[in-house]
Amino acid sequence: MPRTKRSKRRVSSFNLWIRWLFVFLIILGLAGTILVLYNPFIEEIDLHTLLQANLRASKIIDHNGEEIVTLSPSRVIWTPLEKIPLFLRRAVIIVEDRRYYEHKGVDFKGIIRAFYYNILYRQRVQGGSTITQQLAKNLLLSNKKTISRKLLEIGYAVEIERKYNKDEILEFYLNDIYFGHGVYGIEGAARFYFARSIWELTLDEQALLIGLIRGPEIYSPYRYPERALERRNLVLSTLYNQRFLSQKEYEQLTAKPLEVQENPTYLSRGGYFADYIEEALRDEYGWSSRYIRAGGLRIYTTLDSFIQRIAEETVASLPQDENGGPQGALVALNPKNGEILAMVGGKNYRFSRYNRAVRVRRQIGSAIKPLIFAAAVEAGFTTETKVVDEPVTYMINGKPWSPQNFDAKYRGVIPLREALAWSVNTVAVRLVDELGVKQVFPFVKRMGLPLVEKGVRNDQALAPLALGGLTEGVTPLELCGAFTPLANQGLKSKPVGIIRVEDSKGRLLRRGSFRQEAVILAETARMVTAMMQEVITYGTGIRANPGRPAAGKTGTSNENTDAWFVGYTPDLLAVIWIGNDDRSPLRIDGQIIGGGTAAEYWGSFMRRALVRNTVKEF
C-alpha cells in the first residue's frame, strides 16, 4: 500500500529532526573538547598522569610471590588485558559499546539510536555513552546529570582517545569499573561474587558480571536475585542476537541458576598494609607518592596472603551493635625476625581507611605485665618466687592510693607465675616498687614500648608504669614489636614489611632492613614465656587457647575503653585490639567487652592461621 502524504510528511519531519539532533551532538562534542583543552579552570588536571597512575600502577607482592594488590587509586587487583578472557572482552563491547573500535571516543550514531529506542519503548533500554565516556566520567567527573558535566565527559573522552589506543582504554575500563558492594575491577568482582579468578568463571558467570556494569546496585544478585537473573539473561540474549553465541549455547546458559558464593569475604585485601608500605617507602627513601604508586614498581613484601585473609575476616567478625560496634586492629609477625605477616587496621578498608594498626594510640593496661615480670626475672626472681597478694596502700603525690585487683580477690602468698596467670595488680605494683621505677622504666623501654620520660619519679610513676599507663598510648604494631624479645630468645626485632623493591624493568632499587638486638637474656624469655603459657591454660586468657602451645596476656584499659590480647606460638606472634574510635567504653547490648573478648578472637585467629603448621613446643 502506498504511503499517504501525511505519513510521508511525518517521516520527512522525523528525519529532519534526527539531522538537527545529529548537528547538535556534533556541536556538543566540539564544545566539550574545547572546554577540556582550553578552559583555564581545569588546565591543572593532568589527564596523562591520572591514567598512567593506573596503567603503570606499582604492585605489592607477598612473600610467596603472589600479587596482593596494586597501588592504583581504587586499590584493584590490576589485570592486564591479555589476561582477561577474550569472551568477556568481546561481550563487554557488544553490550556496552558495539561501535567501540569505530568511533573516536563519542558515538553520535549510538546516541541517536539509543535516543530513538528509548522514546520508542518509553523507557531507558539503551545507553548512549561509549566505554571511553564511561571511563572519563568514572575517572575524572561526578555523577551529576548536568550539561556542563556532559560537555566535560565528551571532551575528556575525545582527549583520552587521542592519547591512548583502544586496548589500553579497554584494559583500564575493565579494571576501574564499579561492580557493587564496594568492589572495583573485573578480577575483584570475580573473587567477590564467585570466590574464583576471572579465568575460572563460566560463560554465564561472566555474563552476570557484564550485566552488573549498567547498574551494580540495582542488579545485585544478593539484594535482587530475580532482577539479576533477568539482567544476566538479557546480556546472553544480546550476545545471541549478535551471533556471538549459538542457539544451543544460549539455551544452556540461560537455563542455569545464579550461583554466587553465599558469604563473600573480599575486603580490599591488603589495603591497610599497602598504605603502610607506601608510607614506609616515602619516609625511608624520600620517594614521592606519585612515583611509589605509578612508577611500575614491584614491591616484594613479607606479607602472607593466607594469614592476611584470616586476619581481615577475624577483625570483620568482631561484635557489633546497631551503630556498628567497636573497631579493631590486628598485627601478626614472624617471631623469629619481625616480618609482618598480616596487618589489619579496621573492620572494612572500603568504609574506613584509617589504619588503626599503626595510628591508634591507646593504653594497654595489664598487657604490660609480662614486661614488668621480665624485669623481675632479670633481677633474680623465678617462676616459683613467692610474692604477696594482699591490700596495700602507697602515698602518691601526698595522697593514699590502694591498687585493686580486677576480680576484687586477694590470694595471699602465691608463686610469681600464678600472679601473672591471674593478672594480679597488687603484685605488679609491688614488683615495680621493690625493683624501683628507675630500674624498671629503662628495661621496659628497651623492650620497645614508647614510654613518657618526663617526671619519672617513684611516687608519680609507680601506678601507671605497673598498670600500663605510663605512655602516650601504644599502637598494635608497637606492642607486637615489644614482645619479640620474649618470643625469640631475648632478641628484639624491628617489625619490617619490605623485602626488596624493583623497578618496572626488574632492576633492584632497595632491600629491606632487618634489625635485631639482644635486649634480655634468653633464659628470661624462656621463663616469662612459661608463665604466659599459664595465662592461657588456666588464667585470664583461657578463652584464647588455640589448641597448641601458646603464651599470651590480656589487657584492658581504665574505664574499659580498650581491650587487648598479645600472644605467640613458636611460629606466630600476634596482637589484637578492640576499641571505639571515640574512646567510649566498650559495651555491646549492655555487656562490657574486655581483654577476655580480645582473647577469644585472638584464639580464633591463631587456630585458623596456623592450620598449615605442625604443632610445636616452645
Q: Which residues are catalytic?
A: 96, 366
Q: What angle do CA 473, 479, 482 make, to 5 degrees?
A: 120
CA distance 36 to 45: 9
Q: Are 501 and 297 in contact (CB under 8 A)?
A: yes
Q: Which residues pair with 474 in a beta bridge?
A: 362
Hey, is 300 helix, strand or coil?
strand
Q: Are 557 and 365 in contact (CB under 8 A)?
A: yes
CA distance 387 to 377: 13
Q: What cell was used for 301?
A: 613484601
CA distance 360 to 343: 13
Hey, is 448 helix, strand or coil?
coil
Residue 485: count other Cβ atoms within 10 Å of its Cβ.
28
CA distance 465 to 479: 15
Q: What cell was used for 54?
A: 593506573
Half-sphere exposure at residue 542, Cβ-oriented, CA atoms within 13 angstroms: 6
What's the distance, CA 386 to chain centroid?
47
Q: Are 480 and 333 in contact (CB under 8 A)?
A: yes
* DSSP label of 408: S
Compute φ and ψ for 317, nearest 5 degrees: -90, 5
Compute φ and ψ for 26, nearest 5 degrees: -65, -45
Residue 537: count other Cβ atoms within 10 Å of its Cβ.
14
Within 286-343, residue ranges assigned H as helices are 289-294, 305-316
CA distance 488 to 332: 14
Which helix or strand (DSSP H or E) is residue 491 part of? strand 491-493
Q: Are 599 and 552 in contact (CB under 8 A)?
A: yes
Helices (H) and strands (E) in the chain, counts: 24, 18
